[in-house]
Amino acid sequence: MVRIGNKNIGEFPILLAPMEDVSDPPFRYVCKLFGADVMYTEFISSEGLIRDAAKSVKKLDFSDFERPIGIQIFGHDIQSMVKAAEYAERAQPDIIDINYGCPVKKVASKGAGSGIMNDIPKMVAMTEAVVKSVKLPVTVKTRLGYDEDRKDIVEIAERLQDVGIQALTIHGRLRTTRSSVPADWTLIGKVKENQRMKIPVFGNGDVVDGPSAKHFKDTYGVDGLMIARGSYGNPWIFQEVKHYLKHGNLPKVPDIHERIRISRIHLEKSVEWKGERQALMEMRKHWGDYFKGFPNFKPFRIRIMQANLYEEMDQILKEIETAFNGIQPVERGFDNTNGWTDLPEECRL
């Protein structure tokens, strides 16, 4: 059984990655329905949190249904990170997670996210300060290194463990690696092979279905997997991965009725949490993923992007369900050498 602190999280946990503008409470809710073992909030700016900025504070929202859950914070200033961790702890999550993985320029250029991998002593000092400031278990999500010349994750993993983190998630890319380049899990495997490592090590990067999950599990010996892009419009992936690891075959692909049911729950939770107008605007980035692979979907996509009322969207969903009744989507392929294979032209959105 894998543990973070005193919390059992399963024999081989499957985690939902913290993703800005994606892993909000409505999306986490539908992922939890299908078996996500641990989830994290969107990353929260330490500076925004200690200034009581409304957007940052709202990201602390979660329900007991989502537990165990971690609040993820990021920043470049050690004292601000300590104050933010203490602030986040008052929301009573199960975990405080530190983001050392975000490669976005406006974050990394300030020495936050993956930018701090350019200063490992500061990274270690910040982690130690956060660990000492809270009673909750602290975990870290990071990358393989700052750039091609500094693939330091084996050293970093040891040093972060030594200052008290209780689990580590490693994304199999560098700060400089584009997401279109297949993840490199080799160094993740080396961290796991290091006999000094005693804490759980989770792998992240290109876990997109049952077969890819089994490949990474069997090849690199990680304690669990974190899923990011593979969950877009696909909360069923947690169920699929667990089924495949247990039985060695893939469950039935969700049909249009199941996709409508779950996307509607997602929409309704979004309206409840954000209000109708904001929910409809922000759900636009999800619809294409829920219906990816269905041929000739573009006319519906155009209407979805123009819908401004819940009643409009409700009617569109009813029409989609009727139009694609009995039609199975064309699934995107993935191989561990070349990454994603393209959908046929008529299925691209």
CB distance 211 to 226 below 8 Å: no
Q: How much of the chain is in helix, strand and coil states, percent to nearest 5?
A: 45, 15, 40
CB distance 113 to 107 below 8 Å: yes
Residue whose tokens read 């030594």 = 162
Q: What is the DSSP letter of 150?
A: B
How many other β-carbons are positioned within 10 Å of the β-carbon of residue 111?
Answer: 17
Q: What are phi and psi of 35, to 5 degrees?
A: 105, 15
Marked catalytic residue, from 102, 156, 237, 307: 102
- CA-based angle 310:55:146, to the nearest 5? 115
SS3 124: helix
CB-count burial class (<10 Å; 0-12, 13-18, 19+) for 233: buried
Tokens of 315: 């009617």
Distances (CA, A) of 216 to 145, 189, 212, 225, 250: 20, 9, 6, 8, 17
Q: What are phi and psi of 184, to 5 degrees?
A: -105, 110
CB distance 210 to 250 below 8 Å: yes
Cα-Cα end-to-end distance for the chain: 41
Helix extents (H) in 95-169: 105-108, 120-133, 153-162
Tokens of 35: 């078996």
Residue 102 annotated in active site? yes
Residue whose tokens read 């469950």 = 251
Report how far residue 303's alpha carbon sits from residue 306's, in angstroms, rounded to the nearest whole number: 5
Cis peptide before 68 (omega within 30 of 0): yes
Q: Catalytic residue positions?
A: 102
